Amino acid sequence: MRAVKSLPAKIQGHLSVYHIDRTIRSELCLRKGLNHKTKPCLECRRASALVSADETSKSHNPVTSFHNSITTDEGVIIHERSTDSNRVATGGHQGFVWGSVLWPSGVSLAKYLAWKGPAYVQSKARVLELGSGTGIVGLTAAKIGAPSVTLTDNESELWSTMRRNIESNGFSEKQVRIHGLDWRDPSTFLCPPADFAYKQLGIRSPSYEYPDLVLAADVLYSGMDKLFARVLSSHLASEEETAGEKLPEALLACPFRKDSPLEGFFEVSMRLGLTFERLEDDQGCAVGGFHGITPSNIFSSSGFVPLASDRQRKAIANDPTFSSYNTKNIQIFRVQRVGRTAEESFHVKRVSRL
């Protein structure tokens, strides 16, 4: 995927054009007369797009430790963290607890990538995982052969878990990166809305290296629908922005819950130009699987079915059906942005807070 527009020459010289948050902060520093080459300012360091190995070691919390190591059916080594059960009640971050262990949605989406195989993944020059947690989905993509994977999470305490998992699987920092991305703060987006870049920082022509594939598993919870819709739409290029090239896509896996925010998520996402398809078998049931099930048994008779009507989307959000292998009640969606532009996602003003 080519960049939409070129960066100003003064920015291209000293910071990565693949990470727009660094670019935005650098532009701000340049206008302040700060020399980023010799000593990055604190503001830019906080918004650093790449989280280094040194930074992840500093983010390790002594209250927690690795308590479990799992090798998935796809051959990916995942270390889980032990967590204090009283952590949230005493002021800890709930996101840390959620992100420290494997969840069925991540396992199921990893299996789907394995079934699609190297040809599919290797054709995606840039892969982005949102809300990575342990990083199972992005690391599976890298294991299959994705040339460049970026794992993202706002919880800095999870960075050391991701780093441990990256190193345990033998990936270099060049192949698999970590990015601190806060869904509530567009300045941390890799592809923030152009409207934000212009209004907040005066950058008229930001350059985006859009991901070719966006991955997300078990990231939709009640109260998170609008936040996730905004960050997802910001990182998917539209038909207008790709100038006739193949549209990038997102794969989203989530379990069915009685308090599912899917209906609200669909509503907001459709306003942002996103389209949805659900992975179904020939009986119209959602397919997915967990450890110990061969991917071909799960996905061989499946395909993506467009969710073209409000009635379809409402039924899937509130009363979905599942295949016999799908005991964890996982739904996998393919998402693309066929209309509108990324900057319009910035106008989703009333987003829920964690």
Single-letter amino acid code for the residue at 251: L
Question: How far apart are alpha carbons 229 and 345 in whole angstroms?
Answer: 8
Q: What is the DSSP string of 145-201?
A: T-S-EEEE-S-GGGHHHHHHHHHHTT--TTTEEEE---TT-GGG-SS--HHHHHHHH
Matching residue, tokens 């195989």: 117
Burial class from Cβ neighbours inside 10 Å (0-12, 13-18, 19+) for residue 175 reads middle
Query: Are the CB atoms for 128 and 142 separated by under 8 Å?
Result: no
Residue 33 zone, left/alpha/beta (φ > 0; ψ -120 to 50; rest): left
Mapping DSSP onto H, E and C, the string for 16-30 reads CCCCHHHHHHHHHHH
Check: CB of residue 219 under 8 Å from CB of residue 191. no
Nearest in space to 252 (alpha carbons), one of 225, 271, 272, 273: 225
pLDDT tens-place string over residues 103-147:
899 999 999 999 999 999 999 999 999 999 999 999 999 999 999
For the stretch 230-270, pLDDT in tens is 999 999 988 777 776 788 999 999 999 888 889 999 999 99
pLDDT tens, per residue, the chain with 354 residues: 434 333 333 323 222 323 333 444 444 455 455 554 444 444 454 444 455 555 544 444 433 455 688 999 999 999 987 655 444 434 444 444 455 688 899 999 999 999 999 999 999 999 999 999 999 999 999 999 999 999 999 888 888 899 999 999 999 989 999 999 998 888 788 887 666 655 665 555 555 688 999 999 999 887 778 889 999 999 998 877 777 678 899 999 999 988 888 999 999 999 888 999 999 999 999 999 988 899 999 999 999 999 999 999 999 999 999 999 999 999 999 999 986 554 455 554 444 332
List, in sequence order, every residue forming a beta bridge with 278; answer none if it has no partner: 305, 333
Q: Which two tokens stand for residue 210?
A: 């859009």
pTM for the model stands at 0.79
Question: How confident is the model over 79-93, as pLDDT tens digits?
Answer: 987 655 444 434 444
- What dotted CATH number matches 50-181+212-347? 3.40.50.150
Task: State how beta strands 330-337 and 249-255 pair.
Answer: antiparallel
Nearest-CA neighbor of 55 among 188, 156, 166? Answer: 156
What is the distance between the alpha carbons of residues 248 and 210, in angstroms, rounded to a whole number? 8
> Domain map of the chain by residue range?
50-181+212-347
The two structure tokens encoding residue 203: 């950058």
C-alpha span between 139 and 145 (Å, rounded): 10
Helix (H, G, I), strand (E, B) or coil at 129: strand
**Bridge partner residues of 279 (DSSP):** 304
Helix/strand/coil (H, E, C) string of 242-295?
HCCCCCCEEEEEEECCCCCCHHHHHHHHHHCCEEEEEEECCCCCECCCCCCCCH
Phi-psi label, residue 293: left if phi above 0, alpha if psi -120 to 50, beta otherwise: beta
